[in-house]
Amino acid sequence: MDWEGQKVAEQLMQIMLVVFAIGAFVTGYVVGSFELMLYIYAGGVILTTLITIPNWPFFNRHPLKWLDPSEAEKHPKPQVTTSVSKKKPIKK
């Protein structure tokens, strides 16, 4: 799953869980059944899991382009530099 696919999966998961929670609450309130509300929400969680967790092809629309090993050797890694703070000497 690429980065954009992860973003889409996260947004889809949040939207689906909120929709199922509201739908389950309204249905449970109208019917007057807490058990029915829990079943509807549990079904929504299972459906959301089946849609968002597997690596479906529509989550891989923006694949990363990696360098070949021979090309990576031509470009050295950036060196980490440490910055030295320049403090003024304290005069007594």
Provide DSSP, 59-73: G-SS---PPPHHHHH
> Does a structural domain hold residue 85?
no
> Does a structural domain hold residue 34?
yes
> Does a structural domain hold residue 81?
no
Mean pLDDT of 41-60: 91
**Whole-angstrom Cα distance, residue 14 to residue 22?**
12
> Does a structural domain hold residue 87?
no
Domains identified in the chain, total number: 1
Lowest-pLDDT range of 11-15, 19-23, 42-46, 57-61: 57-61
- Show Cβ contacts of residue 45 under 8 Å, excluding neighbours closer than 6 positions: 17, 20
> Does a structural domain hold residue 89?
no
> Does a structural domain hold residue 76?
no
pTM: 0.66
Q: What is the domain range of residue 39?
A: 1-53
> Does a structural domain hold residue 17?
yes
